């Protein structure tokens, strides 16, 4: 009987073994409440008892249960971060900066990878909402209708980063991909290139940058710019393949890439084929400041400052979460970008 009853539990015996406030309290000869205060509001507890409590904490190895804490206070100290992928270096600087800034204020980051898929993002938003994050960070501004709805209803602070739009869900920090594209086009025209080509990964923002290049060129009378599109995320190998395909359509003066990684792929394939970069073909990239800074001496590129986006986003969230009740105005920041020419670098 006893035997069968014990095994009836089914799940492995996850004995609730963890030390609780109560355990610490008993050892310190106080109430759970006092222990809680000693840890969170030390100034409310007499020095002596506080010491007894801290000793008890140490000797028991007590670790506060944030699940319970979050449930009781309705503050999870969790920030949900939705990112397309970490397979490309483009976001790494932003992520590192945002995470460490948040961590410094006691917030942890719950990461969700969308793979540039809106349905995935939709599902992730739903699941992550279950953790009751104190804030949500979304990459991009293009979401499913359902996602937007859910998010607009929530009172959770939301930041969309890495893009601009006229109707953000809440806060917004990013830059215009159309502006990047046309700036690239004008830069290349200014440098007197004649025969252009575009190599793009098919992620939404990369495509917008690329299309914007094409359109700006057209506005300046350049038609029929060859363009190759490869599946996201952009990889070295994709860059090599794309370059090979572009070559079949003739050697251009310059190739504009949606990302530095593709540009580097071109460098690799060019080395293999003995094509001189930038003598025979110039290459232009796009990327995060820290990774792009020294990409390759033969490369020009568009730099964006991922770290700044991460820092601004984290600070805006913290302001909203911990700041004074004075209604925090809607935030909208254009972080801009910089064109770095290999010759001027």
Stretch that binds a second copy, among 40-48, 96-104, 174-182, 192-200 (CB under 8 A): 96-104
Residues binding a second copy: number (CB under 8 A): 66
Among 20, 49, 92, 165, binds a second copy (CB under 8 A): 92
Cα–Cα dist 129/248, whole Å: 49
Q: What phi and psi values does residue 136 have, to the nearest 5 degrees?
A: -130, 135
Sole window of 35-43, 96-104, 135-143, 329-337 interacting with DNA (rule: CB under 7 A): 35-43
For β-strands 227-230 and 282-288, DSSP reports them as unpaired
According to DSSP, residue 8 is labeled T
Residue of 7, 69, 139, 341 that binds DNA (CB under 7 A): 69
Token match 């992550």: residue? 128
Q: Stretches 42-50, 100-108, 109-117, 266-274: which one binds DNA (CB under 7 A)?
A: 42-50
The interface with DNA within residues 228-287 (CB under 7 A) comprises: none
Token pair for 5? 């009853």
Which among a second copy, DNA, none contacts residue 45 (Cβ within 5 to 8 A by kind)? DNA
Q: Which is nearer to DNA, 231 or 323 (CB)?
A: 323
Within 10 angstroms of residue 334's Cβ, the number of other Cβ atoms is 12
CA distances from 247 to 95, 241, 280 (A): 36, 10, 12
Which residue's CB is nearer to a second copy, number 196 or number 286?
286
14 vs 200: CA distance, rounded Å: 50
Q: Is 274 in the site for a second copy (CB under 8 A)?
A: no
Q: Is the Cα dihedral 179, 180, 182, 188 positive or negative? A: positive
Interatomic CA distance for residues 86 and 94, integer angstroms = 11
Where does this chain bind a second copy (CB under 8 A)?
A: 7, 12, 14-18, 61, 63-68, 70-71, 74-76, 85-87, 89, 92-93, 95-96, 99-100, 108-113, 126-132, 150, 153, 155, 235-237, 240, 264-265, 267-269, 271-272, 277, 290-291, 293-298, 325
């Amino acid at each position: 009987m006893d035997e069968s009853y014990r095994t009836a539990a089914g799940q492995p015996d996850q004995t609730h073994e963890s030390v609780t406030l109560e355990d610490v309290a008993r050892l310190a000869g106080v109430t759970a409440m006092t222990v809680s205060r000693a840890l969170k509001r030390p100034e409310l507890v007499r020095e002596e008892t506080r010491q007894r409590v801290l000793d008890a904490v140490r000797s028991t190895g007590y670790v506060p249960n944030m699940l319970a804490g979050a449930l009781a206070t309705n503050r999870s100290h969790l920030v949900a971060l939705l990112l397309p992928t970490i397979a490309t270096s483009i976001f790494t600087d932003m992520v590192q900066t945002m995470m460490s800034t948040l961590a410094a204020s006691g917030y942890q980051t719950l990461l969700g990878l969308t793979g540039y898929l809106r349905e995935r993002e939709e599902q992730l938003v739903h699941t992550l909402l279950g953790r009751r994050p104190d804030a949500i960070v979304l990459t991009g501004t293009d979401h499913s209708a359902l996602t937007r709805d859910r998010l607009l209803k929530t009172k959770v602070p939301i930041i969309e980063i890495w893009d601009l739009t006229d109707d953000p869900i809440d806060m917004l920090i990013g830059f215009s991909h159309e502006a990047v594209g046309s700036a690239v086009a004008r830069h290349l025209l200014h440098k007197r290139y004649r025969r252009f080509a575009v190599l793009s990964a098919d992620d939404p923002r990369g495509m917008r940058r690329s299309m914007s290049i094409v359109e700006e060129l057209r506005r300046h009378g350049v038609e029929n710019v060859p363009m190759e599109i490869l599946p996201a995320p952009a990889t070295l190998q994709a860059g090599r393949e794309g370059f090979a395909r572009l070559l079949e359509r003739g050697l251009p003066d310059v190739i504009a890439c949606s990302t530095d990684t593709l540009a580097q792929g071109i460098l690799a394939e060019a080395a293999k084929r003995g094509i001189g970069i930038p003598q025979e073909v110039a290459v232009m990239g796009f990327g995060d400041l820290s990774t792009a800074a020294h990409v390759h001496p033969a490369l020009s590129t568009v730099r964006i400052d991922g770290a700044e986006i991460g820092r601004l986003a984290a600070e805006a969230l913290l302001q909203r979460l911990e700041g004074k009740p004075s209604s925090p105005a809607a935030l909208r920041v254009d972080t801009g970008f910089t064109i770095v020419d290999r010759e001027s670098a």
